[in-house]
Amino acid sequence: MAAVSAVPGLGLAADRSFSPSLAALARAKGLRFGSAVGMGTFNDPRYRQVLIDECGVLVPENELKWYVLRPDAKTFAFGRADRIAAFAKAHDIALRGHTLLWHHPKWFPAWLNAYDFGQGPAAAKNAQALLVDHIDKVVAHYPQIASWDVVNETIDPKDGSIRRTVFSDAMGQEQTLDVAFHAARAAAPKARLVYNDYMGWEAGNEAHRAGVLKLLEGFRKRGTPVDALGVQSHLGTEDPAAPGSLGRPQEKAWRAFIDEATGMGYDLLITEFDVNDQNLPADIAVRDADTAAVAKAYLDLMLDYRQTKEVLAWGMVDKYSWLQGFTPRKDGLAMRVTLYDDAYRPKPLREAVAAALRSAPARA
């Protein structure tokens, strides 16, 4: 039966010729489907309606990052994330957390990059106190969050090393990450704790994947409480050797990577799904068909692993995607990277996700 959604205040009924929702298709297989939502998009009632119609979980896109939450060392500015949390609650949608520690100096607030922790052993103690206090307070503020990206993107894709920050200069690199996970476990003993990164299946990601595996191995050796690997899944690539395409997927190497991660006992999450069409031809039908085909192949592979527990899109409507600004197309055309077009109509990419959820094996 067709689902028809009224959009309050707009005096129109969006014509949705599909049912059930992606959230329901996911739920039927023991999975969760949802999306990121940022403040800009959140102010658009039609966008909110798509979230209500499709999502079982929402992730604040930027609103839980240090640079938004922490204007200074003492203040926690929860207002923006609280609005998203209240919306999720009002519509009975779960909330997921991104991220307690984006361990990259580029995404630290300026005051944190300049923070003086002192010298010697005191520096490690002070750094630990600041990090643990942040995690304690943020996690305690959102007790409803059952899945947290604790650490985000700390592997340098160039050589697989762990990035340096003021925290790691004071505490050590592995130690900093361990402190974050232990603090998260203590604050949310039942939550799924995730290491999240963007190593992908395309050629060019080899060093990144190797670095992530080494990191995951280290967590296991040291008994660091990490439950899952967040595979961001920004498909498509800037691969200069593959013009006019969506990159060169290395299926065998990718399976080996996923096998190693799951072999260490990690669950998997698809945390930031979208398909970058910057290198595809202008023709919309061609682009939509290509992005849908690659998405289906990728999601089939990933959902075949019973360890994959959640599928999150990084935004639901093309015009609001971060990719429009990050990798604009050379021909100036708008990108078509998410599940819905700019008129809030579902695209072939949405059907690819639905089809992958339908054919996914059920998990316990």
Name which of 173, 153, 67, 80 is nearest 110 in CA terms.
Answer: 67
What are residue 162's phi and psi, to 5 degrees? -85, 135
Strand blocks (E) in the chain: 5-7, 12-14, 32-37, 57-60, 94-95, 97-102, 147-152, 192-197, 228-231, 234-235, 267-275, 308-313
Taking the C-alpha atoms of residue 324 and residue 79, their distance in angstroms, rounded to an integer, is 27
Site track for ligand G3I across 33-52, x = CB under 6 A = -----x-x------------
Select from 322, 324, 351, 363 the one that contacts ligand G3I (CB under 6 A).
322
Residue 62 binds ligand G3I, judged by CB under 6 A: yes
Residue 272 binds ligand G3I, judged by CB under 6 A: yes
Our CB check for ligand G3I shows the closer of 76 and 322 to be 322
Residue 232 binds ligand G3I, judged by CB under 6 A: yes
Q: Which two tokens stand for residue 167?
A: 């925290």
Residue 61 binds ligand G3I, judged by CB under 6 A: yes
- Beta strand pairing call for 5-7 and 12-14: antiparallel
Minimum CB–partner distance for residue 322 and ligand G3I (Å):
3
Q: If binding means CB under 6 A, how many residues of this protein chain bind ligand G3I?
A: 11
- The residue to which tokens 């967040």 are assigned: 230
Q: Is the peptide bond before 20 cis (omega within 30 degrees of 0)?
A: yes
Q: Which stretch binds ligand G3I (CB under 6 A): 5-13, 61-69, 86-94, 129-137?
A: 61-69
Cα-to-chain-centroid distance, residue 129: 27
Q: Is residue 332 within 8 Å of 286, Cβ to Cβ?
A: no
Taking the C-alpha atoms of residue 311 and residue 298, their distance in angstroms, rounded to an integer, is 12
Name which of 18, 138, 161 is nearest 78 in CA terms.
Answer: 138
Site track for ligand G3I across 146-165, x = CB under 6 A = ------x-------------
Our CB check for ligand G3I shows the closer of 131 and 312 to be 312
Site track for ligand G3I across 97-126, x = CB under 6 A = ----------x-------------------
Residue 308 binds ligand G3I, judged by CB under 6 A: no
Residue 327 binds ligand G3I, judged by CB under 6 A: no
Minimum CB–partner distance for residue 79 and ligand G3I (Å):
14
Taking the C-alpha atoms of residue 305 and residue 262, their distance in angstroms, rounded to an integer, is 9
Q: Which stretch binds ligand G3I (CB under 6 A): 57-65, 117-125, 182-190, 261-269?
A: 57-65
- The residue to which tokens 């579902």 are assigned: 346
Bridge partners for 35 per DSSP: 58, 313
Q: Which stretch binds ligand G3I (CB under 6 A): 25-33, 59-67, 209-217, 280-288?
A: 59-67
Residue 310 binds ligand G3I, judged by CB under 6 A: no
Minimum CB–partner distance for residue 149 and ligand G3I (Å):
8
Our CB check for ligand G3I shows the closer of 107 and 344 to be 107
What 8-state DSSP symbol labels residue 280? S
Q: Residues interacting with ligand G3I, by CB under 6 A?
A: 38, 40, 61-62, 65, 107, 152, 198, 232, 272, 322
